[in-house]
Structure 1
């Protein structure tokens, strides 16, 4: 009988203390000169502990690979084969500005990597789920590497013979966002993609958990979800408005948005910085001078109130709107709709029949007035918006006037679009920026996420993965893969957003609704560097039900293989677990940078892999050998050879790198700078919309509203809470403020990012959890009504599950709203097989994904996981 995951495959407490206790982590170090393993730094520049010089044998460069986007360089100091200190980049004089090389300082998360390397959660050997146990019970037995590779390869061959390559899926995973050979994101650039494409391919995915709705729905308005003015241009802004954007927690390193925003505040002290957010974030506390709390999921109502006020007061530029926008005015609406009709599969909602005509006034002007198709809905005044958003009408008018007294920059975080109506949020926020004339000017912005700039290297950050060899020609939303386990037969373009995908990875839409379909269930999942399946994905209890469906012809997964250094909650839902390496146990290459600086880090292995851990390249080489494609997979190259290949490609492309690869490795960290002017997102020529203009009314969206089945073939309730609307308007969305479910679950529950984790990465680091324990944020007034005090233990419940944590009682969150930091590790009170997937089982880890819904959003089929209704009780 195998041993449970709680006791199996872990370092003993005594061993852990021996490995990790040699010295503390340096949080404020000075002057650590860069040194390779062949170099000795100056004695007076060494980091010290307790006043004594650090004793070490070698120092090498690595980086933090997790998904905050920064990929900060890190130095690993090693003594007797053990990492005794993690240090940061301290090169350069740290002057900030054009042509200056500044330091890519890691945040405190990156500096705790020794606790990750020597974590008691490290997986020591290959593991196999004990026969007869359920996925999620966490009961495993040790097997050898040979046994693991043989079992995986044999199962792969059986599945391919029965279902073809359509039955294989590479799970979304950003635990190794940095790196080149070792990367886990994007799935199509991983070693598993290279392996699978050489073996016939796999079912691909589109979009991602970060930007599922904004990716596809902001372009309905302006054709572009990504472009915005560079952050350094904010020194030219009179006003800066952040919608749901909290870089002080999400991008807080010395090479990321929060550092840049802090520099902007220092250089532009007179700017008005407004944060629109349900909770007073650390960003708002640190750099803003006004917080406007807003009910979750109501941003488009706020925008409507602002525009109604400006339009009725004659403050908008009517000629600008008539020249560059379609769908705003009633008198031109019919012609605008014709101009906005999609005619190519590059766009959604083709109407080949020509029958989806519009006979009534559905313009934004009619919406604001409550006329035409919106008769009876009332005028969208600031007072109307106040009743929905919770923002006083005068504040709405003040914010609208601020936009007209610019230049005003608008930066949209990715929180507003993670609601069940988040696509309309993203479109509306972009609209207020454009319609007030703040797009295409210095100091303004488009309303997308910030552009952080940087000076990029041409050196590749991925090795060839042969997408042209992938024979699977359809793809699924990143969020809806679970349905392909339960019932793939209902999944087509009109029910679950299935799309065509070509050999270059470009997706397109169906000419006729309902014609793009999946061809097989997902039977095999590669899960590398990812805790998505039991962490980032929604509704863990229902997910467990799906993972444990019987393996039948049209449903049920046959094998889940996880490669990870740590026993994550997702690992415990796998059939085979293979011990992977940390970035400090292999060679690799990472690039990054912001503003006027870019860097490339040639990472050298600091220590040998612990226990029986192997790098992912070695694992895939073993699998390729078992599948008969080893020569094609390796091309005769080792992992280090591939790093040299990247170096050679970069040199050939003109990168200013050392003369030889050996010098490149010895240098470790290389930076470059320039003195470019901050980039301005100024569209040249037609926008990438069917009309070439800003589409206030999207005929694409309107067509979809008439073509698609929002019940997902019967798997999503037909309750009217999902809508596709031509305009970015507010409606009573699923588990939003107006949902009748509030009678039983009175609080709106959202999630936010915490400083102590990047998603679930660093979730098992004691130092981090001791700094900021997992707590539910609740307003002081709400807490008093419930008899809850600071640090009381509470249970947060939704229809989907229950989770225990302590309360953070504060006025930094608006009444009626609670927030739980996302990314905490799922820890059920019991893993007994009889209770797997039971919503009544209490989670002790404070994991919000126990509480969130896997109901897909209407257009993007993405994650609306910030729309939840909950109740709170004292434990």
Structure 2
């Protein structure tokens, strides 16, 4: 039975609350209050006209954009008769960025389309149960009551805990509600599901994330730090700015994020030489760069080797810097360097208790560059060698190398280059070129990591307590290869699938003896909240359908998947129980953030009542807690609003410059503060957090792992030599990379890029967005002409894993031989027939790249190498 939408008016007239007495030392502050329609004097958005008439509304409340772009922009929500009639932006403060300026934190166009999300035909109206006897993915559901749904969930949980223990429960990765505090969906360990499960004994946790899998674990092999870099605004002091695969014009495009800041840098530093190294001429390159250097995907480490070979042979590098701060570069000190870099505790990977794992040949970077020692026969890594691999002319490689030596040069890598099958080496190589050219610790320089964006944060909690110390499950799994725990959990240990020990504080560690950290149970129950990962952001949707439909047996197969979401996403369609959640505009919460010199905290007030039978996530989990006999412990007697007051109280105790009472805090809504701090500069530390305390060009950790780990995952991954763990960040022919023999049948390298119309898959159901920029396969003019493809032709892109249909965008903004499909489009199979479900021949008509990508994990991080794909293209 189909239910119709209804919304009860929630009219809450609030008077403007003056803010006074809050000028803390060194801080300038402002507060922005909800307003009334008829007597508002200062709200410019209310004066905007539609059809020549002033906007007629009952209430304006503050809310925010909770999706995972990094900004979490505050939004003004205007409602009339219980219906949201307009979404507007923060227009309080100054229309510029700088010290002691309260910056406007304006949302991008995505955030302004939220009415189309609130009133969308994909809204889930009532609890749903998968029809008995149907497969996950068929999409056949029946309506049930909330009581039935909660009872079924709790009963199944008790059965699974009795059979398998808490190790069988998993909270799926999901960032669709990243911005909330009580309502947040990420990090999973900070959600209300984590609070519930920890009170009930715990659950299987995950490490790292889909955004930064390889940066998180591979970049620290070089420098002990995955994150530190100079603030964006410090780029005003840069002579040169090199962006490797970094496209904030699409990923962080709001008026309070990286793209806005780097645009300001361009205005303040017009002489800066901004270069984008990317297979795709991105919107960022078009908007701010002087130069685009197209590069074949997954070959950044070959580019770096070619640059360093040139600089080294021309004596342009600082030898003293390298000998003082680096290990593993020079041949004459190689064996001493190896001993310095030996891990000494389980805080590092690849512990060698036997002391027998030692290289028998020179594996220094100098030997690699010369093609000697262990690299005999591989040839010198000259710019000409690099040109043949990268597609970048040798003279351009030399020119780029000289630019790195023209200090200060800032190096920033986006998170695309590390999302390759060899992405761990990519990220280490990019960090290496920044460090070895002497640009770390300089104003205007940088480390080669992702940019920092500054801000002046309020010390208000961003999550409620979740009791990790009560979690009895002491192992954790990679965010990406959790699926193997459904297929065959007994194959999973530290040496096959990267299982790690995790303590009560969430700190992971490694095995003293390889192969001894093991999973103890299969995943039998999955909480899926605010997440379209399984049928969207993960990989190989067809194989995921097969995995999710494995029979529920003793050692494999999942028994229950529960999804909570406002919208019927593709992932919801593989769930057993679907519960309608609320949008951020139907509940109270807190968001916070900041950028440049401005920080903010915003207490959100529901603009409308929950639609249909939707409930806030806190209320949903409270109902489940009640069935498990944990309601009092879970709620501590607090409502959701009480928890927001708790956050306010905690912030006040920590010195937050906020009103004297919670009531004033709530009635005012948005608070911003600024100061005159200098943009931070990531230092060159005396001691890096590596075993040697220096930059480890040769990583003994990686060398040990190459001898200890089974990269076939106990026989589940082909032993084809296309996965390697290398002590140096070197180029090798990797899985579905440029040098994979499969390229003779699937000639194009396929990557994905973030799209302005979506944040991952969020906003994928907004018609306005898809009209502005439809889902298309970006292909070079040269390749399109060779295939007889013209602009807007319908094409089918195929890999060995599946087929997806969309139109072609024929452009000079793609490197020939490379095509790109914007990630995050909603999976839309031509058929959901049970007989063909999960078959690679089933055509996806949604243009979803995850039908085409591989779930083969990367060698060290066990992460997502989903930008390494070989494909073919044909007209439909």
Q: So what's the TM-score if we normalise by structure 2?
A: 0.96
Residue 357 (structure 1) shift: 1.4
Give the aligned partner of residue 18 of structure 2.
none
Give the aligned partner of residue 378 of structure 1.
379
Give the aligned partner of residue 270 of structure 2.
269
User: What are the residue-to-residue correspondences of 1:46-125 with 2, within 5 Å?
Assistant: 46=46, 47-125=48-126
Q: 1:196 to 1:332 in 2, by over 3 A?
A: same
**Cα distance in structure 2, aligned partners of 1:94 and 1:854:** 45
Please give the root-mean-square deviation of Cα atoms over the aligned residues, in Å. Answer: 1.4
Q: 1:44 to 1:761 in 2, by over 3 A?
A: closer
Give the aligned partner of residue 179 of structure 1.
180
Give the aligned partner of residue 24 of structure 1.
none
Matched, 1:398 2:377: no
1:114-149 per-residue CA deviation (whole Å, 9 max, x = no partner) reads 000000000000000000000001100000000000
Give the aligned partner of residue 633 of structure 1.
634
Give the aligned partner of residue 603 of structure 2.
602
Give the aligned partner of residue 457 of structure 1.
458
Aligned 8 A contact 2:4 2:612 in 1: no
Name the SS for the 1:678 alignment partner.
coil
Aligned 8 A contact 1:36 1:667 in 2: no
Moved more, 586-595 or 44-53: 44-53
Give the aligned partner of residue 20 of structure 2.
none
Residue 411 (structure 1) shift: 0.3
1:174-205 per-residue CA deviation (whole Å, 9 max, x = no partner) reads 00010100000000000000000000000000
1:394-437 per-residue CA deviation (whole Å, 9 max, x = no partner) reads 00000000001120000000000000000000000000000000
Q: So what's the TM-score if we normalise by structure 1?
A: 0.96
Q: 1:38 to 1:262 in 2, by over 3 A?
A: same
**Cα distance in structure 1, aligned partners of 2:300 and 2:793:** 32
**Cα distance in structure 2, aligned partners of 1:615 and 1:37:** 26
Give the aligned partner of residue 12 of structure 2.
none
Give the aligned partner of residue 299 of structure 2.
298
Aligned 8 A contact 1:9 1:123 in 2: no
Moved more, 428-437 or 36-45: 36-45
Moved more, 351-360 or 337-346: 351-360
**Cα distance in structure 2, aligned partners of 1:432 and 1:683:** 14
Give the aligned partner of residue 41 of structure 2.
42
Name the SS for the 1:641 alignment partner.
helix
Matched, 1:744 2:783: no
Aligned 8 A contact 1:36 1:61 in 2: no
**Cα distance in structure 2, aligned partners of 1:440 and 1:832:** 58
Give the aligned partner of residue 573 of structure 2.
572
**Cα distance in structure 2, aligned partners of 1:757 and 1:725:** 36
1:290-323 per-residue CA deviation (whole Å, 9 max, x = no partner) reads 0000000000000000000000000000010000
Name the SS for the 1:291 alignment partner.
strand
Aligned 8 A contact 1:603 1:668 in 2: yes
Name the SS for the 1:808 alignment partner.
strand
Residue 36 (structure 1) shift: 4.4
Name the SS for the 2:621 alignment partner.
helix
Matched, 1:434 2:435: yes
**Cα distance in structure 2, aligned partners of 1:665 and 1:41:** 18
**Cα distance in structure 2, aligned partners of 1:518 and 1:97:** 51
Matched, 1:474 2:475: yes
Aligned 8 A contact 2:32 2:668 in 1: no
**Cα distance in structure 2, aligned partners of 1:48 and 1:487:** 61
1:343-383 per-residue CA deviation (whole Å, 9 max, x = no partner) reads 11000000000110122100000000000000000000000
Q: 1:698 to 1:60 in 2, by over 3 A?
A: same
Name the SS for the 1:663 alignment partner.
helix
Give the aligned partner of residue 684 of structure 1.
685
**Cα distance in structure 1, aligned partners of 2:744 and 2:653:** 65
**Cα distance in structure 2, aligned partners of 1:740 and 1:289:** 36
Q: Give ranges in structure 2 of 5+ residues lacking alignment.
A: 8-30
Give the aligned partner of residue 333 of structure 2.
332
Give the aligned partner of residue 257 of structure 2.
256
**Cα distance in structure 2, aligned partners of 1:34 and 1:379:** 65
Aligned 8 A contact 2:420 2:868 in 1: yes
Aligned 8 A contact 1:38 1:666 in 2: no
User: What are the residue-to-residue correspondences of 1:617-656 with 2, within 5 Å?
Assistant: 617-656=618-657
Aligned 8 A contact 2:32 2:669 in 1: no
**Cα distance in structure 2, aligned partners of 1:749 and 1:10:** 42
Q: 1:422 to 1:144 in 2, by over 3 A?
A: same
**Cα distance in structure 2, aligned partners of 1:61 and 1:835:** 47
Name the SS for the 1:834 alignment partner.
coil
1:807-839 per-residue CA deviation (whole Å, 9 max, x = no partner) reads 000110000000000000000001111111000
**Cα distance in structure 2, aligned partners of 1:471 and 1:770:** 49
1:684-738 per-residue CA deviation (whole Å, 9 max, x = no partner) reads 3310000000000000000000000000000000000000000000000000011
Aligned 8 A contact 2:300 2:390 in 1: yes
Give the aligned partner of residue 694 of structure 1.
695
Matched, 1:726 2:720: no
Aligned 8 A contact 1:61 1:669 in 2: yes
Aligned 8 A contact 1:37 1:60 in 2: no
Residue 332 (structure 1) shift: 0.2
User: What are the residue-to-residue correspondences of 1:126-145 with 2, within 5 Å?
Assistant: 126-145=127-146
Aligned 8 A contact 1:413 1:449 in 2: yes
Give the aligned partner of residue 341 of structure 1.
342
User: What are the residue-to-residue correspondences of 1:465-504 with 2, within 5 Å?
Assistant: 465-504=466-505
Residue 37 (structure 1) shift: 6.2
Aligned 8 A contact 2:588 2:606 in 1: yes
1:447-487 per-residue CA deviation (whole Å, 9 max, x = no partner) reads 00000010011110100000000000000000011100010
Name the SS for the 1:418 alignment partner.
coil
**Cα distance in structure 2, aligned partners of 1:167 and 1:95:** 51
**Cα distance in structure 1, aligned partners of 2:175 and 2:397:** 38
Aligned 8 A contact 1:779 1:810 in 2: yes
1:275-303 per-residue CA deviation (whole Å, 9 max, x = no partner) reads 00001000000000000000000000000
Residue 33 (structure 1) shift: 7.6
**Cα distance in structure 2, aligned partners of 1:724 and 1:849:** 26
**Cα distance in structure 2, aligned partners of 1:151 and 1:782:** 54
Residue 34 (structure 1) shift: 4.5
Aligned 8 A contact 1:302 1:385 in 2: yes
1:544-590 per-residue CA deviation (whole Å, 9 max, x = no partner) reads 00000000000000000000000000000000000000000000000
